[in-house]
Structure 1
């Protein structure tokens, strides 16, 4: 019979998990970049709110600043303070000013999210490779990576925004991770991220995606602050953050990496049934 086409599918196991850094595996609440952005804009005479600073989180950091400068309120405040609309040179100057603020706080927020080390250990016991990528540039990772290693977290491969021509939501970093880790198919990879733009990266790369709702930028709370929430407030926050990441297209959404193993089991069951990302 005519009209049929052959479709090639990966039905093997997951071979690699590619985690985001801040808010996913380390720095509960994604606190370091939020602090650095607010301090940078305050020093430039145009304070931004924490909510504004967090909105483009996950992007390469110069792109993040450009996105903030494009927000109408911030653009208007910039024009009122500096006498002109935001320019490319202003973005360059802010990025240069941002770097020391980021480097000053990054090591203080390098502790792994609770459950991260146990999850990574369980994945390695199954022969699954551990990738990592980030909107941070190399100078920032030169501080964060050894600080995280001192706490016991060392991925098998890490790719930075400065390593690729285009940062998130482009798939470049995730695809480079996959190549470096030697996987057989992108469908054998899971991208885990706490930001919508990080989920979009994984989807663009053709990978399974898992959103992290409560340990990252969407919830925007330290571990202690999250634990201190009343049950009703925590439940409301959970609903809101899960819905936000699900709307981005994440295949599954979990609270934190501590809850990742059941998500892995579900994805491997879906692969065995012939489903694809």
Structure 2
């Protein structure tokens, strides 16, 4: 089985998700820097909102876990509205070579799963807009499907359950963020690939445990010659 992130890994969305996240938490009074945003790339978006809110000067020292859930949800809905507007203005597109890579892998008997820090309300319309909701994928796991998002390995394990994969050492995980790579390593995946199509550079991804660092998902079929799981 091969497990891929969505935004920045398989889908080009021009950094809209992190622009929307930044603007939503800024509207709520937080002042995140670029490093703060990068630290939460690939994370469950509600968890990211909690942490970024706690970094606001007016909330110095506040425990993110103590932030009111209703406040987090209100900011999440603002984030989702901003992201939807951004996607309408500039629709996401498959990263070049990704659909072909999926086809090559599936032809070799490798099941394809997507995992994401988005929840189902964002992912459903996104995949429909790409035409990826009609059999291209074997499983899609969202942050709200598991107890904790990346770097916890639970989305990968859930994808294994959904596809019937049983040997984690024969699973490939690919993503464009530090959290993607850490989730793959925490899961025990045999192949953990960082791709450079997102917002994180090679120097940052290269400093995190991985097995391969590639320009794009399009290069992944060359790594495998048969079923991974």
- Structure 1 residues without counterparts, runs of 5 or longer: 1-15, 219-240, 272-277
**Matched residue SS, 1:201:** helix
CA distance in 2, matches of 1:187, 1:157: 19
Query: Which structure's residues are more often helix, by fraction?
Result: 1
CA distance in 1, matches of 2:85, 2:17: 11
Give how far 1:206 is off: 1.2
Give how far 1:184 is off: 3.4
Please tell me the root mean square deviation across aligned C-alpha atoms, in Å. Answer: 2.6
Post-superposition Cα deviations, 1:111-164, rounded to whole Å, max 9, x if no partner, equal 100111111111112111111110000110121110121699932210000111
Rate the CA distance shift 1:53–1:19 in 2: closer, same or farther, 3 A.
same
Whichever of the two has the greater Rg, that structure is: 1
Alignment pair present for 1:212 and 2:195: yes
CA distance in 2, matches of 1:141, 1:151: 10
Post-superposition Cα deviations, 1:214-264, rounded to whole Å, max 9, x if no partner, equal x1120xxxxxxxxxxxxxxxxxxxxxx223223221111111112212333
Q: Normalising to structure 2: TM-score of the pair?
A: 0.85
Asked whether the 8 Å contact 1:112–1:153 carries over to 2, the reply is no
Aligned length: 221
Rate the CA distance shift 1:53–1:152 in 2: closer, same or farther, 3 A.
farther
Alignment pair present for 1:58 and 2:42: yes
Give how far 1:25 is off: 0.4
**Matched residue SS, 2:188:** coil
Mapping for residues 9-158 of structure 1, pairs under 5 Å: 16-27=1-12, 29=14, 31-71=15-55, 75-76=56-57, 78-79=58-59, 88-89=67-68, 90-106=71-87, 108-149=90-131, 154-158=136-140
Q: Normalising to structure 1: TM-score of the pair?
A: 0.71
Asked whether the 8 Å contact 2:97–2:218 carries over to 1, the reply is yes
- Structure 2 residues without counterparts, runs of 5 or longer: none
Post-superposition Cα deviations, 1:155-182, rounded to whole Å, max 9, x if no partner, equal 2210000111111111111011111111
**Matched residue SS, 1:18:** strand
Give how far 1:92 is off: 3.8
Asked whether the 8 Å contact 2:25–2:52 carries over to 1, the reply is no
CA distance in 2, matches of 1:162, 1:127: 28
CA distance in 2, matches of 1:184, 1:55: 31
Asked whether the 8 Å contact 1:211–1:253 carries over to 2, the reply is yes
In structure 2, the residue matched to 1:173 is 155
Asked whether the 8 Å contact 1:252–1:263 carries over to 2, the reply is no
